[in-house]
Amino acid sequence: MMDDYGHIDDTTPSLAMSLYKEYRRRGFGTKMLEDMLELLRKKGYAKVSLSVQKANYALRMYQKAGFEIVADHGEEVLMVYFVD
């Protein structure tokens, strides 16, 4: 595993995604996130983590998807999604 900003432990994958500006707010990010969470579910992962800046509009998307804030690092937060 990679020790990146979203890293919480060696058994939890961390997620990073980005869209070009012209593709934002059109549902592409939500669809990509849903597909990734489904893939992780099928692969048997218990959780996935990520780090996002508080000023990033995608923070709300992650919260709506079910990610929970587990640590506050000033300008960014560490979030975890518990796969069903």
Q: By the 8 A CB rule, do 14 and 48 touch?
A: yes
**Does residue 40 have a pLDDT over 80?**
yes
- Mean pLDDT (whole number) for 33-49: 95
Q: pLDDT tens digits, residue range 15-33?
A: 999 999 999 889 999 999 9
Residue % of the chain over a pLDDT of 70: 96
To which residue do tokens 């934002």 refer? Answer: 24
Average per-residue pLDDT for the chain: 91
Check: CATH 3.90.1150.10 for 21-82?
no
Q: By the 8 A CB rule, do 52 and 15 touch?
A: no
